[in-house]
Structure 1
Amino acid sequence: MRKSRKRSQGEDSSSSSSSKLDTHKKPHHHRNSDFNFRDSYNHFTPRRDSGHHVLGKRSNLASYHEAPSLPPKLKILCEIVAQTPAVTVERVLEDTGIRVGSEDVEKVLKLCYDYPGSAVKFFRWASKQLNNRHSANAWDLVVDLLGKNCLFEAMWDAIKSMRNEFLLSMATFKSVFVNYVSSDRVQDAILSFEVMDQYGIPSGVVALNTLLYAICSHGKTRLAENYFRIVKEKIRVDAETYAILLEGWEREGEVGRARLTFSEMVVDIGWDKRNTRSYDSFLCTLIMGPDGMREAMKDFGAMAERGCYPGIKFFKFAIDESVRKSDVRSAKVVWDAIVGKNICLPDTVMYKSLISLYCNAKDFDAAEKLLDEMVYHQAFPDSETYGLLFHFLIKHKRLREATRVFKEMVKNEFVPLQQDCCTAVKTYVGAGDPHMGIKVWRCMIENYSWDLDETGNLLVVGLRDMNRLPEAVKCAEDMIERGIKLNSATLTKLKQSLSKLGKTFAYEELLCKWKSH
């Protein structure tokens, strides 16, 4: 680990000095300038470890073992490549009598990244059947699998052969950049960019952005910025260049550097409504810093004054952060920008977050208003959205609003959480609302089959205390039939009330049912 860090520091130093960069210098793995890749197949022998696996980085692509419904022909070819020593692969393949097309070659190469030596021999064998006319994509796969396995000399031999066939593209060099950077060799990636013109691929801003993205996406944005400062004197950078750097700073949480890059971008290319990616990343990075929301909202205001806005990523991040910090004011500013200025459509998750914020702030009118407006912005309440609002309304005894939410929730075939149902029954009964207490109870017993005893007994006793004895008896009978335990204490209270009304026979019938169950 220590060794890797020292190398990175060296690259930082070398890439920051323009006098040390020679545009004609090739990465030091590009030797043997007259070497033809086709003639190299028989001589190509990667280092071995446990069979014929190459030492180096492994591919993230799927192995042929993981490929679903692989045709028998391709499975046989992959098994030969994976299980046969490189020196005998071609003979074994020849003995199969299998014929392949360009698509077959590409599919096998994609599934055999872990066997570069044998994969190259397979590529050579297939070349004979294809009259030495492999597709550009197949060549790119060879370049990539060699690079991913740190076989850079062979990789450059393949690139040279591609140049001779006029098959090179930006995609080829993108693979080169990524594989050098992932191997902690940023300087070689930079040198590869600087020799692109010699291979017929322009080293303009598109290529530069591809290089910088490869470097930044691997957590090395500082090295990318160092080279950016050198090369921008020769190449006119664009909005994409700055977006890549700002996304890098966002990933690494570098607030100060992000601010410097953003300021430089504004001076260099000005304000542009289309530059959403940069605004997104910059504001998201600011939120990570000390006093982040205040700083982000200040810069957000400056953008808005110029008609420039970030995208949905920032708005989601800002809403989540506002909820985390219970910052209603910032949330309102962000929300007004989303909805009021119609910048983007808020989704259900964003609505849920904001409803949660307002509920915690006890602004239930605002929370209900959000629920009502969701459908107008093509966001539809789900069980969690309704449940969230119902939970807080019941908790704070806002029963009129809770009743409306509950009815709408059930109408849309959603069910409150069981604990919220328990609390709701208790609250409605305590508030003297037997009708809603029974309605929530019915919803509860239709959707849950456990932990019902306590709530059921509470409802029966509550109905009895509110002089709703017929409903109490009916509820008690239903509980018994459903196998929900009716407590002896509840029975005793029902007996007392029924006896006072001269309806002992009703109690006897209830008791008989209770004993039989």
Structure 2
Amino acid sequence: MALSKLTLLNHLTKALPKPGRPRSYAPPHAFLPIRLLSFSTPEEAAAERRERKLRLRIDPPFSAFRHKHPSPATSSVQNPNTPKIPEPASALSGNRLNLHNRVLKLIRENDLDEAALLTRHSIYSNCRPTIHTCNSVMAAQLRQSKYPDLLSLHRFITQAGVASNVVTYNILFTLYLNCRKIDLALETYKQLIKEVPFNPSPTTYRILIKGLVENQLVQKAVELKNDMEKKGYKPDPTIYSYLMSGQAKNSNAELIFDLYDELKQKLGTDHILDGIIYGNLMKGHFLKGNETEAMEVYKIALVHDSPVKMNPFAYNYILEALSKNGKFNEALNLFERMKNEHNPPKTLTVNLGSYNIMVEGYCSEKKFDLAVEVFNSMGEKRCLPDTLSYNVLIDQLCNNDRLADAEELYNGMADKNISQDEYTFATLMNACFKENRPDDSARYFKTMVDSKLKPNLTVYNQLIDGLVNAGKIDEAKSFFDMMVPKIRMNDESYKFIMKALFENGKHNEVMGIVGGMLREEPCGFTEEIEEFVREGMRIEGREDEVSDIKAEVDREKAEEAARVAAEAERAKESARAAVAALLPSKFLRGDDKNSDDDWSEGRNRDFEELGERESEGGVVKEVTF
């Protein structure tokens, strides 16, 4: 039903309002084609949808005509040398988070061996640990100085394809610097800069610069600080405090103030609000003899309502500056204030370093009872001593004839799950020798070896020297036999024990040592040692025994070489016999020698017979040789 154009025009003309008359709106005509915003019936709406879908199937959208660049083909084979991106912290979820919590529980229980073993076993399981779990184990091993276990675990996870993150590198840097492997630490830093797909953190530079300063490489630390700032890192007051501390150790007061002025210039302020600077600034004033200026800095940093922000490390620098420059009473007052203000976790003012500084201060004042009292009171502020803290106090007590107190501390280490190291045992061993207790010294050394620690040649020489001087020659010889496979001896070590044996008429035992050297380590029996042994045996008229034992060892080596050669020949004969038993008899034609020429002649005859049969028209289906 459609209206004609004329009818529609007349209808619209009549519908328009006339001028001068009020407009009246009449309802629209029934036949007026007005498109409403909705369909009249559901069937009409469904029909419209079907029509629209049909149009879309026939006519593609305009976006289909746009030019699309072909995406580059991605290779399914990845380059194994491409550095891997470490997993984010969000990877710790589900079962991997449960595994992480299990490992942390073992670490809190001080069962590091089980924690490392669980991490290793989980690498190739359905629940693979994240790098964050591995870092937790390695950090715990670092805190307890278990460096071989740490390196072994790191090598294992690297070979397993677990990508390291910046925390992993920071742990390695700390380990290398603690072991004084400066070149290895710097080489690893270069690798981090060039090859790893992430940047070092400010903590990385703090660890490196602190380690360089502690190893008396202040100039190298300054260069690293400059390189850090060239890479866009902000000036770090903590790093400047490390550098100022290094200059203070070298008694370079002017360079301390130069670093302080440089930091103020780069921060654009006349007053630095980080309190970690002020302790080393006080050291600079003390070095120049300006005690008044040093105490002025002290008041600026610690006056009531001071804007300077202090933390335990900042307090420790000031404590150290006071206690080592004749201001121990002021240091005591500050230490008491620090303990009173310590309110974790809101306010932290005391840590292990604070107690170590005060213990050293009391020892320098010869107040050892108070030093032990302060040391034992660490637990009141939730501070736990470490092996280094024990070693410092034990060393001070042993050097001041307080061996009984030192041994009491040593016995208390096991109760607090603190592991002793080589320095602990060596200190107690030397103190026992001074107290004329060689048996106790030997016991400490044996305990050290049984604890799987590795004493160096210096500690071994101290033990042997003490036992020999105490007349314990047999004990010295037994420790020598125990340590020969574990320590590479030098000529002086061999000559010392040989001299002691010569002086006590034990020439046969000296010859036993010579025989062991010739059999196990011939290069160790140098001309110097041989001449020393000959001279000692010459006094007894037994110089020829040296030549005899050398000839005997050479004969034994020749006999051993002949025996090995005979066994190898017998093995070859057995192999030939086994091969011959597997070969067909046709290969064994000829005389009993079974030479290669006879075998070749027999093979040629077989080929000649084959040729004759083919020439006669015969069909050869199979020829077997």
Scaled by the length of structure 2, what TM-score is found?
A: 0.40
Greater relative contact order (CA < 8 Å, ≥ 6 in sequence): 1
Higher CA-based Rg: 2
